[in-house]
Amino acid sequence: MIMVYKKIKTYKKGFLDVGEGHSIYYELSGNPYGKPVLFVHGGPGAGFFYQDKQFFNPNIFNIITFDQRGAGRSKPFASLDNNTTTLLVDDMKKLLTMLHIDRVFLFGGSWGSTLSLVYAIRNPDMVAAMVLRGIFLGSKEEEDYMIYGAKHVFPMAWVKMASLVPESHKKRILEFFYEMVLSKDSQIRSKFAKAWETYEMSISKLKYSKSDVNKFLQLIKYEASARIELHYLVNQCFIPKDYILRNVDKLKSIPISIVHGRYDHVASPFSAYTLHKKLTDSSLYYTLAGHSSYDTDTRKRLVKEMDKLGELNLI
């Protein structure tokens, strides 16, 4: 029987000054002497939540969670200055170095899968294995899949989002929303940030629930999440075209489990298949789920994959 892990104790928390005016918030939970696993949150800009620790057996793993630049409790809040993929990768390395951790398991979903892959490509010797969910490789095609493709499955959510966009901008919805969340008018910034996060949350789970979306909007700091996410998307995630696929040979020695919802309308299931076919030492599991890691089938598979890593002598 697959279970999630609850009541996980945090034994240390704090801020790490990573330079360029940024301090990232982190927490250490579970077993201080356990196998280290770094949870890489999505968004970009979403931050991590207590529920994200449920995938890891606290008796086996030293669970490291952190908020990326501008996200969650990191400072300065919602900052886009000096906020790029390369700098986030550097921050991950600085955090692990500060903790005296030489090798780690990476666990990342959605944008967290992107960032984990880039980190592993640039630091392959520091990564023992990866569990990745909701693969996103940073391409324009994947962005269009989320922004335009989802209207065929979630038409009401899409129409509500697109109704805020003038007809002249209907082919550049992403850029329009980005301009709005950078507006000098705080009411406009808040309106469009909330609308963007409402759309994304509405298409994320296998079963749509208005109450679930509203609960999440109360939980998440959507001003930061929308602002940072759009900042990355309009800049092609600050990585060259096909960067990950062109560098998968650097990952050939790393065991990788890929978990992707069959009905994911935020990140394309085809991206998971494409990555899997390029990686000789990877396993691909499609689940009866949408994009959310909290959909039951995906959650169970993620826990199972981490339990398997806990039994192996990789670290």
Q: Give the residues of the chain that fall short of pLDDT 70.
A: 1-3
Domain spans in the chain, listed from the N-terminal domain onward: 10-140+239-311, 143-236
- Which pLDDT belongs to residue 6? 82
- Which pLDDT belongs to residue 220? 82
- Residue 198's SS3 state is helix
- Which pLDDT belongs to residue 3? 65
Q: Which two tokens stand for residue 179?
A: 């301009």
For the segment 122-143, what is each residue's pLDDT rounded down to a tens digit?
999 999 999 999 999 999 999 9
How many Cβ atoms are within 10 Å of 17's Cβ, its own excluded? 12
Q: Check 29, 74, 79, 110 and give the catalytic one.
A: 110
Residue 144 annotated in active site: no
Number of helices followed by number of strands (H, E) in the chain: 11, 8
- Which pLDDT belongs to residue 211? 85
- Residue 315's SS3 state is coil
Q: Which residues make beta-bridge pairs with 104?
A: 127
Q: Please provide the DSSP assignment of the chain as one string.
A: ------SPPEEEEEEEEEETTEEEEEEEEE-TTSEEEEEE--TTTT---GGGGGGS-TTTEEEEEEPPTTSTT-BSTT--TT--HHHHHHHHHHHHHHTT-SSEEEEEETHHHHHHHHHHHH-GGGEEEEEEES-----HHHHHHHHTGGGGT-HHHHHHHHTTS-GGGTT-HHHHHHHHHT-S-HHHHHHHHHHHHHHHHHTTSSS--HHHHHHHHHHS-HHHHHHHHHHHHTTGGGS-TTHHHHTGGGGTTS-EEEEEETT-SSS-HHHHHHHHHH-TTEEEEEES--S-TTSHHHHHHHHHHHHHHHHS---
Residue 183 annotated in active site: no
Residue 23 annotated in active site: no
Q: Which two tokens stand for residue 257?
A: 């489990």
- Residue 56's SS3 state is coil
Q: 10-140+239-311 domain in CATH 3.40.50.1820?
A: yes
- Which pLDDT belongs to residue 264? 97
For the segment 213-257, what is each residue's pLDDT rounded down to a tens digit?
888 888 788 889 999 999 999 999 999 999 999 999 999 999 999
Distance between CA atoms of residues 185 and 188, nearest Å: 5
Q: Check 291, 292, 293, 295 and give the catalytic one.
A: 291
Q: Measure Cα distances from 2 to 34, 262, 270, 304, 308 in Å.
A: 21, 20, 27, 7, 12
Q: Check 52, 67, 91, 264 and give the catalytic one.
A: 264
